[in-house]
Structures are given as C-alpha cells and as structure tokens.
Amino acid sequence: MYQVKSRVIKNEEVAEGYFRLSLECPEVAEKAGPGQFVMLRVGNSYDPLLRRPFSIHRINKWSGIEILYKVIGKGTGMMAHIKAGEGASVIGSLGNGFSFTEELGEALVVGGGIGAAPLLALAEKLTGKGIGEERKVIVFLGGKSKEDILCVEEFKEIGAEVQIATDDGSLGHKGFVTELLERYLGQPQGTAPTRIFSCGPHLMSKRVAEIAKKYNTPCQVSLEAHMACGVGACLGCVIKVKGSGVRGQF
C-alpha cells in the first residue's frame, strides 16, 4: 500500500453526473488488482476532512489508474472540477479485490449503477486482454434508467457480452438486472466452471447471492460501506456476512 502524490491526467464527464478520472500513480497501479479501491483527496483543502473511497476502474500498470465516479456530495462535487495537471493524493491499493483461477471457463459479471466501476478492470482481466486467454464473459448491467448504464462500449470492446436491464425500461429489459442473471442460469448450462462477480447496491448484492446459492454457482460480491480510514483501523466499514464463503472489501 502506498500514499502517493498523483497528477491528474484527465477528468472527463462520460454521462450526466458521471466522471472518469485518470491518475498518474504507477506505484499504486503496479500492485493493484480488480475490485480493490483507493482513498482519494483532491485539492489542497482539508474540507472535507476524510478521504473518499473509490474503486479502481481501470489499471494501466505503467502509468496509473482510472476511477469512474458519480457526483453525489461535497467530495465528488470538488472532484468534478479538477483539471489535468492538478494534484491528487492517493492511498492504495486497498481491499481484497476479486479473485479467480486460470481454469475459470465462464464469468457472469453483475453491476448495478456505479457498481459497474470496478467491473471493467475485472472484465479486462477475465477476457485476458493482452495475454490471449479465452473465457466467456457476460456482463449484466442494471440501473434506474438508461443514463445509469455505464461502460457498455468499453465492455464490448474487450470481447464481453453485455445484457442490460433498467427499472423504467428505457434501455434493455424492463426490470431488475438480477432477473437477467436468473434467466441465464435457468437455461441448460455447459460444463465450464462458472463464477459470478458482483458490485452494486446492497439489495442487488443480496439477490445475486441468493441466485448464486439456488444455482449452486460460486459467487464473489464486492460490498461498499461508509468509510473513514479505509485501512482496517477504525472498523467503521464492517459488514456482517453469513458463513465464511463471502467477503467484503475487507
């Protein structure tokens, strides 16, 4: 884990209220894995006092990381105004992250809203970008409306199949993204080892875990909580989980 003074390479609005921030921090990127996160402070002010946690959206081992964020309050509001060349302080990479082995034949990746953010780095690793691996990757994206469906082209570009659901039916299936997952798993399945990976609102994660259990498919769920330190010191982010097969960001 490093604390580094990073430089902003780019900060662009990719959809209304959603931004992608590219940060130069090769030290963090070198050790980062999909599903991990960083604690970030932009500008020189200590208001807000606490750093904000953000999933690592993309990893470029030679230059740095990208973050995909939604503007919801003071910290993210300040981030939206930061320009290329300005500084940002990054602590990372933190958290357990997702894991899988080479034998994995099929990955079902489920994202709800901004929960799609860490799933691009995961899908890039799963599709074996750059190392010529072959693996079926289906990304199920859900959101309230079409504006909340993020990174469709990016997922397709790396060879993932994308299925979409929106609450209001403005894009893809009208209903919950978990309905798409269940519909897929309800079809006759091949013999390839399959695993589900998920990040999104807690209710969605709970439903994904129930579906995984019903179809006897291993599942990893990335859980988010309000955070203060981000490094396991204050225990403010602890989320109770049942059994030992599921783990949160810590």
Least Cβ distance, residue 53 to ligand FAD (angstroms) = 4
DSSP string, the chain: -EEEEEEEEEEEEEETTEEEEEEE-HHHHHH--TT-EEEEEESS--SS-S-EEEE--EEETTTEEEEEEE--SHHHHHHTT--TT-EEEEEEEES------TT--EEEEEEEGGGGHHHHHHHHHHTTTTTT---EEEEEEEESSGGG---HHHHHHTT-EEEEEETTSSSSEES-HHHHHHHHHHS---SS-EEEEEES-HHHHHHHHHHHHHTT--EEEE-----SSSSSSS-TT----SSSS-----
- Where does this chain touch ligand FAD (CB under 6 A) — which range of 1-9, 25-33, 72-80, 184-192? 72-80
Which residues 195-234 are close enough to bind ligand FES by CB under 6 A? 227-230, 232-234
Q: In this chain, which of 101, 188, 235, 240 binds ligand FES, going by CB under 6 A?
A: 235
- Where does this chain touch ligand FAD (CB under 6 A) — which range of 47-55, 162-170, 183-191, 202-210? 47-55
Q: Pattern 205-234, binding to ligand FAD, x per CB under 6 A? A: -------------------xxxx-------
Q: In this chain, which of 10, 74, 144, 183 binds ligand FAD, going by CB under 6 A?
A: 74
Q: In this chain, which of 169, 175, 236, 245 binds ligand FES, going by CB under 6 A?
A: 236
Q: Which residues bind ligand FES (CB under 6 A)?
A: 227-230, 232-237, 250
Which residues contact ligand FAD by CB under 6 A? Answer: 37, 48, 52-55, 67-70, 72-77, 114, 117, 224-227, 249
